[in-house]
Amino acid sequence: MGLGLIGGSLARALQAAGVPVVATDPFSAEEARAAGITVADDVRGLALQRPGTVVLAAPLRAMRSVAGELAEALAAEEGWDPTVTDVGSVKAPVREAVVDAGLGDRYVGAHPMSGTERSGFEASSAGLMQGIPWAVTCAAGNAAGGAGATDPARLEQVLRLVTGPLGGTAAVLTDDLHDEAAALVSHVPHVLANQLLGAVASAPVRDLALRLAAGSFRDGTRVGLTDPRRTEAMVTENAAWVAPALRLAARDLERLADALDSNAPTHWFFDRPDPVRERLVRSGGTRVTGLRPGDGSGGADSGSDVQVVPLTGDWPAELVARCARGAVVIALKDGQALLQ
């Protein structure tokens, strides 16, 4: 449901992997059909196809209305029992919208950690969703089957999709763990990129500065070229985690400015990132795990230790505990989750 940059890329990637896909989007339908994707005219038409998984790929601020549309379609299509997931960059508000629509018992949150500064179906590509890290979120209380708990069978279904045909890895987390981490590595960087662009935009030497801009400016501002409404929605929906991170950044920058004014030491600022800097240098890029995604059949990087978690008991909670410490699911095989 939704064929923008992420939804369109996911549809392309699944189709390329041989997974039957049916989509619906009132804005990108013709483009998607021209690309060979089966497109239903509306949610009711999608429901008639009875897909086993429904992906909510609408903008964050439209999630509540889209979840409501799906709930109506489910009520009208007797016997249809799909798992509902999403690709939103913030998880807690999406779960709230899905639960309010009456779909909480079938929901598993998901966030593909991939994207570009572009938007729309025309910017989508299968490669954007192939072999990438995902966050997959679940609610507590699985073993007891309590109210609002994630159904382990549905969680397994989403993990098989991510680690199988999509060839990705999955960090299984709670919504809060995801939203706190995403604030640091995605949402705050978007804010800082916008700040830098805004500083240049209002500077008297703007035109000269842009003529001189090279790699550091390009790398520091790329995500600032994203649709500002999309960035604004992402940041405001995750305000509880973004705001304190921004206050910490502002405090450190003020302290650095004061140190520069007074010719005081500044090594504390430039040396503090050393632990992360070293991991990034060792991994050769921004992925610090050094892992290769599994192929869905247990194919793991032979150079890394593989952890095994049987899919019995409260295995979702066990995955959350391990993934919170940095492990990721690389495959599901023989009733077990394989992690690195």
Which pLDDT score, from 0 to 100, does residue 324 have? 98
We report the CATH number of the domain holding residue 57 as 3.40.50.720
Of 50-64, 136-150, 282-296, 319-333, where does mean pLDDT reach its minimum? Answer: 282-296
Q: Which amino acid is at 209?
A: A
Q: What percent of the chain has pLDDT over 70?
A: 92
The domain that contains 197 carries what CATH number?
Answer: 1.10.3660.10
CA distance linking residue 139 with residue 96, whole number of Å: 11
pLDDT digits (tens, 9 = 90+) for 267-277: 999 999 999 99
Backbone angles phi, psi at 331, to 5 degrees: -170, 160
Total number of domains in the chain: 2
- Tell how many helices (H) and how many strands (E) occur in the chain: 15, 10
Helix (H, G, I), strand (E, B) or coil at 140: coil
Nearest to 112 by CA among 9, 16, 187: 9
Regarding whether 188 and 105 lie in a shared domain, the answer is no
Going through the chain in order, the beta strands assigned E by DSSP cover: 22-23, 38-39, 53-56, 83-86, 109-112, 133-137, 169-173, 307-310, 329-333, 336-339
Distances (CA, A) of 270 to 186, 252, 260: 21, 11, 13
Show which of 242, 272, 302 is a domain's final residue: 272
Beta-sheet pairing, 109-112 with 133-137 = antiparallel
Write down the residue that tokens 């842009």 correspond to. Answer: 210
pLDDT for residue 168: 98
Query: Do 311 and 160 meet the contact criterion of CB atoms below 8 Å apart?
Result: no
Task: Assess whether pLDDT exceeds 50 at residue 78.
Answer: yes
The answer to whether residue 114 is domain-embedded is: yes
- 93: domain range? 5-130
pLDDT, greater one: 290 or 78: 78
Please tell me whether residues 95 and 202 are part of one structural domain: no
State the amino acid at position 181 in one-letter form. A
Q: How much is the pLDDT for 301?
A: 41
Q: Is residue 111 located within the same domain as residue 184?
A: no
- 75 pLDDT exceeds 90? yes
Final residue of a structural domain among 94, 109, 130: 130
Q: What is the DSSP letter of 184?
A: I
Q: How confident is the model at residue 293 (pLDDT cuts 50, 70, 90)?
A: very low
